[in-house]
Amino acid sequence: MNLMPDLAGLGPLTVLLIITALCVVEATLLIGSLVPGELVVIAGAVTLGPEYFPLVAITAGLGSLLGQTGGYLLGRGTGGRIRYSWAGRKLGEHRWARTEALVKAAGPSMMIAVRFVAVGHTLAPILAGAMRVPPRRFFFLAAVSSIGWSSVWALLGLFASSLGQAMDSQLMALALGVAGMVVAGILLTRAANRALPVEVSGRS
């Protein structure tokens, strides 16, 4: 299932609104596995070009922050019961347990690093809410992680856009962005996992 829209031909404001909306969705439970948030940001940066880089990073960061805040409020409201719902069980108990260990034991830098970990970034806000992490602390960490996440992918999109303009091909720019996303995603996930405790990252 692919929820990615075709951004070509849309106006800048429409593209920025789509980026924000999809980044909100990407940061939510389960749906985040269907919406490639990184690709949304890269595609937006490639479509709009270098002059819109700051706005792409800001709108994507805002969407991520809103999505994480929604997860936090969901966790506070349900007390973590969503973990045992149909949607929660589909993700696997091992992922919940791993992320719960991070929320309990990890410091701020690790909470920020989890934003780059697949699936875990949708679970951490819910668990933080269920465990009554102070709202101010959560909001600060979510804001820092969101702008860091969006800036990384917007920069990659900016780089791909510049190469695409040099080759006079937006399609090539998007292809380069996707290739860079795959490589960077692997490297960032490994780096984030190395920053986590062994019992959280699952390393032996």
Assess contact for 43 and 158: CB atoms under 8 A. Answer: no
Both tokens of 106, joined, read: 């990890």
Task: Give the rounded percent of residues in the chain with a pLDDT score beyond 90.
Answer: 21
**pLDDT given for residue 77 in this prediction:** 86
User: Distance of CA 29 to CAs 78, 109, 114, 202, Å?
Assistant: 14, 22, 15, 21
The closest of 189, 184, 142 to 42, measured between CA atoms, is 184
Higher local confidence (pLDDT), 21 or 101: 21
The reported pTM is 0.76
pLDDT in tens, 129-179: 888 888 998 899 999 999 999 998 898 888 877 776 666 555 666 666 666
DSSP secondary structure string for all residues of 151-168 = HHHHHHHHHHHHHHHHHT
